[in-house]
Amino acid sequence: MGADGDEIDEVGGDEVGGDQVDDPDGWLRPKELETAPPPLGYQPRVTVFRPKGSTPLEAGEPEDEDTIPDAALWVMKYRRHLRLGLHGREDERLRAVIGEGDTTAYVIDDGPRHYMVARLVGEDSEGLVYCLVGRIDLAAFELYANLDAPAEDVFADARDLAVCSVFDAPEDVSNVLLIATYRHVDEVPPDYLPPNPFLEFT
């Protein structure tokens, strides 16, 4: 019973406040979060959910597909415009690598005329991997895939640029977090761009 006499909702199973949560795959479960004490008289009405297993970003990949590291693949899936879980697209699927060494960039499809491109930027002491990701069009992809332009320049043609961190824990929950967005490549910190080496963040 709350301070104002209202009955406080009890959370159990997949129900929040008496409403059934749409959870067809059964991967959403309530988990209490450690936060600062709320203001006096405040009664939270929303339960924060944490996935029981890895996010759906790993779904739909062939078991023998190891062209792209998980962190880069998940970031591109997270940021692409194409809706997650869209089936029947096997003939349109693209997984590609552009460049090598510190110029390496990874590419996946994002609809019939666009592609997502990403590179591994660095890792911090907590084990989070940081990736730079953007969206390029068909002409730009063909330019770099055919080696008609240096691979290190691929982000110069990218839009929707962002840096994301990826927490990859095989025995726990893996997820992607948006860190920063950039309107143009000139706004991206130079150290995040190829051909700079993989960084160790403190």
Closest CA to 181 of 156, 159, 201, 154: 159
Let me know whether 31 and 68 are in one domain: no
Q: Specify the number of domains making up the chain.
A: 2
Would you state the structure tokens that stand for residue 159, as one six-digit string?
């839009």
Is the distance from CB of 163 to CB of 75 less than 8 angstroms?
no
Provide the pLDDT for residue 37.
46
Q: Which residues contact 184 (CB under 8 A, 6 or more apart)?
A: 161
Cα–Cα distance, 49 to 143 (Å, whole number): 43
CA 13, CA 140: separation in Å to the nearest integer? Answer: 48
Query: Quick one: 43 and 94 in the same domain?
Result: no
Q: Render each residue's pLDDT in the chain as its tens digit; 202 residues.
A: 444 554 444 333 443 344 444 444 444 333 333 444 445 544 444 444 445 555 566 666 666 566 899 899 999 998 998 765 454 455 578 899 999 999 999 999 998 889 999 999 999 998 899 999 999 999 999 999 999 999 999 999 999 999 999 987 666 667 889 999 999 999 999 999 999 999 998 8
Confidence (pLDDT) at 67 = 84
Q: How far apart, in whole angstroms, are the C-alpha atoms of residue 180 and residue 162?
A: 6
pLDDT value, residue 169: 67
Residue 2 has what pLDDT? 47
Are 170 and 80 in a shared domain?
yes
What pLDDT, on the 0 to 100 scale, is given for residue 146?
93
Measured CA to CA in angstroms, residue 190 lies from 55, 121, 156, 187, 195 at distances of: 31, 11, 12, 9, 10
Let me know how long the chain is. 202
Q: What is the pLDDT of residue 30?
A: 38
SS (H, E, C) 149-197: CCHHHHHHHCEEEEEEEEECCCCCCCEEEEEEEECCHHHCCHHHCCCCC
Q: In terms of domains, do 177 and 191 share one?
A: yes
Of 75, 96, 100, 76, the closest CA to residue 151 belongs to: 100
Is 70 found in the same domain as 46? no
Q: Give the pLDDT of residue 63.
A: 63
Q: Which pLDDT value is given to residue 59? A: 63
Domain containing 16 equals 1-52
Do 101 and 1 share a domain, yes or no?
Answer: no
Global confidence as pTM:
0.68
- What pLDDT is stored for residue 29 in this prediction? 37
Do the strands 19-20 and 28-30 form a parallel or antiparallel pair, or are they unpaired? Answer: unpaired
Residues 46 and 59 in one domain: no
Both 8 and 32 in one domain: the answer is yes
Question: What distances in angstroms separate CA 201 from CA 34, 124, 136, 155, 167, one per listed residue?
Answer: 25, 4, 28, 22, 15
Is residue 110 within 8 Å of 81, Cβ to Cβ?
Answer: yes
Same domain, 47 and 145: no
Q: Which pLDDT score is estimated for 7?
A: 46
